Amino acid sequence: MSEMAKRRRRKQLAYEFKPDPKGTNYLKRLYMTRLQRLTILKWATFAMTGILMLVIQDVIMSQVRFSGATTDLPVAFILLVGIYEGLENGSVFTLVSSLFYWFSGSAPTPICVAVLCILVILIGLFRQLYWHRSFGSIAMCVSIAIMLYEMILFVIGLMSGLTILPRASVFALTGGITCITMLPMYPLVRLISKIGGVSWKE
């Protein structure tokens, strides 16, 4: 056997019997399909948009008053996404986002977590049973949910002595203004929801 053939043979043996590496990168072993990556991107975008709404509300909109009333952008966004995405996904999003809303210190009471979840489940179920998904049906259901949320907060505040009866008009005006500011959110929510394709059917 020639010297060149021996070298080639040694290189081949060294390649074939090369030991496995002692450690592997976890990210290299983690495999996700394109749909899974897009789904994560979709909900991450929803989460970041919700945080943006919270920042805008606390920094800017809380300083703007209309006859003592202001907007409630985080609540509008949570209810809009929760009802738009349907019961299976929307209820989970509402629970997680409302908990974050409470722990951020912006929510008036921890009861708002339960109120938001119940409203999304009941009104979302009603919409799926009787109305097709459209801008009109979504906007109407979310508007009803916003007004009910504000009225429930008013009753809780009244019973706990945190507000007085004449301020009912302020809560109602807050709900009305929030319903108006919810309308421009719809195209954004619809656009984000399209990431990864339609995840549910009615």
The Cα 93–Cα 111 span in angstroms is 17
pLDDT band at residue 164 using 50, 70 and 90 as cut-offs: confident
Dihedral, 15, 20, 22, 25 alpha carbons, nearest 10: 100
For the cut 70, the answer to whether the pLDDT of residue 60 exceeds it is: yes
- Specify the range with the lowest mean pLDDT, choosing from 28-32, 63-67, 90-94: 28-32
Q: Where are the domains of the chain?
A: 35-193
User: For residue 113, which of 59, 140, 153 has the smallest C-alpha distance?
Assistant: 153
pLDDT band at residue 3 using 50, 70 and 90 as cut-offs: low
Strand runs labelled E in the chain: none
Please, where are the H alpha helices in 19-134? Answer: 26-29, 34-59, 73-84, 86-103, 111-130
Question: CB under 8 Å to 51, separation ≥6 — which residues?
Answer: none
pLDDT band at residue 22 using 50, 70 and 90 as cut-offs: low
pLDDT digits (tens, 9 = 90+) for 108-151: 888 999 999 999 999 999 998 888 888 999 999 999 999 999 99
For Cα atoms 57, 61, 62, give the angle at the middle one, nearest 5 degrees.
Answer: 85
The Cα 198–Cα 202 span in angstroms is 11
- Specify the range with the lowest mean pLDDT, choosing from 20-29, 56-65, 158-167, 177-186: 20-29
User: For residue 193, which of 136, 115, 151, 133 has the smallest C-alpha distance?
Assistant: 133
pLDDT band at residue 24 using 50, 70 and 90 as cut-offs: low
Please check whether residue 98 is in contact with residue 112, taking contact to mean a CB–CB distance below 8 angstroms.
yes
pLDDT band at residue 106 using 50, 70 and 90 as cut-offs: confident
* The architecture CATH gives domain 35-193: Orthogonal Bundle (1.10)
CB atoms within 10 A of CB 115: 20
